[in-house]
Homo-oligomer: A and B are copies of this chain.
Amino acid sequence: MDVHFRKLRSRFHLSPAEERFIRDSVSEFRTYPENHTAIRAGEELNHSTILLSGFMGRYKDLKSGLRQITELSLAGDWTDIHGFTLKRLDHDIGTLSPCRVALVPHERLQVMTEAYPRLTRVYWFGTNLDAAIHREWELSLGRRPGIARMAHFFCEVYVRLDLVGLVQAAGYDLPINQTELGECLGLTPVHVNRTLQQLRESGCLDFRAGRVTIYDMPALMRVGEFDPGYLYLGPQPL
């Protein structure tokens, strides 16, 4: 759970009572294998999930089989706290790697909204941050060319992983394949491959075998026109 509080504390001060309330709210820990669908669209929900380690994603599919990942969940994130108010999701949630999660019953979140208004606002902020990430991806998918979209994506994941100490000197682990990367970027696997080669040749970045190596972050940010404002980093007023 520490990774969750670490992420929270990067933006907000939490009282001991608030932190204790959340710690005491976990009803169960689980481990999921790679490529496991944890929640299916439409299914009735009575708990939400905190991702402790690994990578999960939100998936939406077309009948044609084409699939879009609409957001990546990283260690420390709620994967589905929006399910607390929505009660069923409009998308699947699945793992991209083996994952460890903590489950929190919705009754506890209900109690939270009644007894811990500040904590409620903190988590409301969290879902609004998710929406901000969705919007940035809409901009990428709608308007950025493939290479900028990809560069922007790697910048975002860099910054978000850095929040929880998962960035090392020259890069980070991202255990997904090129097809899944394409599902994030709205590109076919073949085109992902060719675009990756462009980024490699430009000397910005390498991505292979689930490992991102960044050679030139400023250049990468320039290519992706990356501005982290939408991630609301650092202490927030609230």
Contacts and interface: CB of A to CB of B under 8 A. Distances in A.
Interface string A96-130: 00000000000000000110010011001101111
Interface residues of A, number: 50
B136 A60 contact: yes
A87 B144 contact: no
Q: Count identical subunits in the complex.
A: 2
Given A85-B238, A121-B113, A60 B131 contact: no
Contacts of A67: 143
A127 B131 contact: yes
Contacts of A117: 113-114, 117, 120
Given A62-B225, A128-B82, A130-B131, A68 B113 contact: no
A72 interface: no
Interface string A67-93: 110110000000000101111001100
B82 A131 contact: yes
A237 interface: yes
The prevalent SS among residues of A at the interface is helix
What are the 6 A-B residue pairs with the smallest beta carbon separation, nearest first?
Answer: A142-B186, A134-B134, A141-B141, A90-B230, A85-B125, A131-B131
Interface of A: 41-42, 58, 60, 62-63, 66-68, 70-71, 82, 84-87, 90-91, 113-114, 117, 120-121, 124-125, 127-132, 134-139, 141-144, 185-186, 225, 229-230, 232, 236-238
